[in-house]
Structure 1
Amino acid sequence: MKQLLIFAMTLLLGNVVAYAQLDLPPVAGNPRAMVSEEVGITSITITYARPDVNKREGKIWGTLIPLGFTNFSFLTNAPTAPWRAGANDNTTITFEHDVKVEGKDIKAGKYGFHVAYNPDSSILIFNKVNNAWGSFYYEQKDDVLRVKVKPQPLDKSVEYLKYEFTNHSANACTIALMWDNLSLPFRVSVNTEDIVIATIRDQLKGNIGFNPQIVLQAAQYCFTVNKNLEEAYGWSKRAITGFGGQKTFPTMSNWVNAAVRTNRLKEADSLMTEVVALGNAQQLATFGRSLITLKQADRALKLMLDNQKKHGDNFVVNSGLMRAYSAKGDFAKAIEYADKAIAQAPNDQQKKATEDLKTQLKGNKDIN
């Protein structure tokens, strides 16, 4: 029994030694860092250690960081090892979804990130091994992607290596490795709209798909980006006829919007009476403007006239009619309603804005 106990304790201690880690400061005082941002809904995260210049200005690139590949490889003893793009553990970069780097596809995942520096054209390497110490055991066969970029001079020296996200757009950003007097920038682009729609589709299969406001929001996103219109039409109806759905101005006007965008024009016309009944003056005027945007000037004018019948002679109604007649090319009629709106403007700012629109109408220019 005693021997069995000793064996068990030995096994336990062996496991503790194998898996326990002390929380110690980083090697050589290189601060550990992580930077993460989103492009659309795609998270991009870089984890790295930050070496400093330490009075080596101008001696980093091409000296401390050699040109191209080095013979630091423990596997080949040949010039096959790139730089780890940081200090200590290899730098890693994680893409939440599939992206393009410098126009080339790379799948979602976590990658070891390395650099083969050259002042004219440096190679950026994304490698499937993401848990290595440095690049001593780097192997090209594990590369997922290589791209070439041109290093850029910096106006001000960067003491501690860093990664920065710049030049943001809805579908792209630039990530730059910056150290000493150089930057290595690379462009990451994301198909945000398709990713969002795919995510929405999955989410609507879960419990939030029983919330009609969420379903409505899903359809409206598709209309905003003008993609996935048929499925969005189905979501528009589901927000009304599905679980918990109800007829409100937002849901009914969105259904009309869906019908127009999918060329179900008779259906759109049949729903208009209910839309008018549910909307206030501002809602109807705003919806009328959205129909103008969809090149539905006749339907927009009819809606604005119905708004007039329901809500009378006021600034919002007359401003809507001004825009509807402008969309029809009837500038004389549009000016008539512009004059009414100017007289009814609730403040000087809206009065001035309407006067400016009238000036455009007098030059026979559509104000929409």
Structure 2
Amino acid sequence: MKKLHQTLLLACACLFFCTRLYAQSVSLPPSGDNQKSIVTQYIGSLAHVSIQYNSPDVTGSNGESRAGQIWGQLVPYGLTNLGFGSAQASPWRAGANENTVITFSHDMEVEGKPIRAGSYGLHMIVEENQPWVMILSKNSSAWGSYFYDEKEDALRVELQPQENEYREWLTYEFTDRQPEHTVAALMWENLKIPFTIRVPNMNALYVNNMRKELQSAAGFTWQGWNQAATYCLQNDTHLEEALSWADNAISMPYIGQENFTTLQTKASILHKLNRVEEATQLMAKAIEHPTANPLQIHAYGRQLISQGEKAKALEVFKHNAKKFPDTWPVNVGLARGYSATGDYKKALKYAKIAHEEAPDELNKNSLQAAIQSLEKGEDIN
């Protein structure tokens, strides 16, 4: 009896193994020679979008051209009963063979509507004389649209098809690439169907990532803290948190370093927070700091002019000349400072000196133009 039981177990195991072998398929060329393709586009340096699809061509597998027969015939208008699967009314799979799949690395917006990070089946309802409907389905693993179920829709948006140069192969491309959004487009035969994908709060995305990075290698250098604080400063975001990061860049034990760069970063954030007196005091300390060099002080003076603080800028340029006499670009700064305050005579004097000191032709030409403007009584800033 025991021997019979063992024999039956062995027979069942063999049957299961043989069934698995029979079910296992080998890799063959794609059906209809519709090659699989994938395109990926980053939005900024963190978020990205990928579209994976099978790409049919206008010329059929028998060599006959289907030009003029794509839209409304090969790809039918509206919803269609495909005669297979569970769906009674199917959209187009927006490609060939398997699902067309679009993947978002982060939460984004498609044509202004929110979509969560993840992968989605991409389908389209093609229309003749009205906007098309793009559908993103939560079911990204189905084969084409044969099992499409409207209940699984994650998003629907209307798209406007456009005339386009002829494309033999169905192709997805990213036709516009901006810091916070991109435009993807399906192109086939003589039509293009674009849609905009946007990261809704890019600043928050970067700041969240910086928080993680500052807990790793970047957080063990004053430069990492300063870079994170500077990003927030330049993008006018998370300023209170940026102030704490600037403090870490200056004084975190074993890591922080007090220097012109870190002091200026903190002072600039304080200024953005309308803590002007504190910012002014800190910048006075920065330009006196042993690490301050004439180029940094000159750049600060230029910044003050752009902010409309012309008298204060002139004082900074004078300080630079006292601290670093006969050093480039000290006399350029004096020329700009006096010009900003309306003293064109003194500005002309220092512009001529700076012209003689200029280290290259680019600066010489720029100063020659400044001299000509000052001789006419014109401001050079």
Say yes or no: TM over 0.5: yes
**Aligned partner (choices 23, 40, 47) of residue 36 of structure 1:** 40
Offset of residue 322 of structure 1:
3.0
- 1:279 aligns with 292
Secondary structure, aligned partner of 1:278: coil
Aligned residue in 2 for 1:53: 58
What is aligned with 2:259?
248
How far apart are the structure 2 equivalents of 1:144 and 1:240? 47
RMSD, matched Cα? 2.7
Give the corresponding residue for 1:154: 164
Query: Equivalent residues in 2 for 1:1-368 (5 A)?
Result: 2-3=6-7, 6=10, 9-10=13-14, 13=17, 17=21, 22-40=26-44, 41-54=46-59, 55-72=65-82, 74-77=85-88, 80-119=89-128, 120-155=130-165, 157-190=166-199, 191-243=201-253, 244-271=255-282, 272-276=284-288, 277-328=290-341, 330-359=343-372, 367-368=380-381
Q: Structure 1: which amino acid aligns with 2:52?
A: T
> 1:163, 1:186 → 2: CA distance?
11
- Would you say the 8 A contact 1:315–1:340 is kept in 2? no
Structure 2: how far apart are the matches of 1:315 and 1:20? 75
CA gap of 1:262–1:302, structure 2 versus 1, over 3 A, is farther
Change (3 A) 1:267 1:12: farther
Mean Cα displacement is larger for which, 43-52 or 348-357?
348-357
Among all aligned residue pairs of Structure 1 and Structure 2, give the percentage whose two residues are the same amino acid: 38
Matched AA of 2:55: R
Q: Unpaired segments of 5 or more residues in structure 1?
A: none
Equivalents in 2 of 1:332, 1:366: separation in Å? Answer: 11
Question: Structure 2: where are the runs of 5+ without partners?
Answer: 60-64
Paired with 1:11 and 1:109, the residues of 2 have a C-alpha distance of 39
Cα pair distance change 1:290/1:234, threshold 3 Å: farther
TM-score using structure 2 length? 0.86
1:201, CA displacement in angstroms?
2.4
TM-score between the two structures when normalised by the length of structure 1: 0.89
In the alignment of these two chains, the number of paired residues is 365
In 2, Cα distance between equivalents of 1:62 and 1:25: 28
- Report the residue type matching 2:51 in the other structure: I
Cα distance between partner residues in 2 of 1:328 and 1:263: 25
Q: In 1, Cα distance between the equivalents of 2:12 and 2:372?
A: 92
Structure having the higher Rg: 2
Which AA in structure 1 matches 2:263?
M
2:320 partner amino acid: N
* Per-residue Cα deviation, 1:17-43 (whole angstroms, up to 9, x for no partner): 599663332222111111001111211
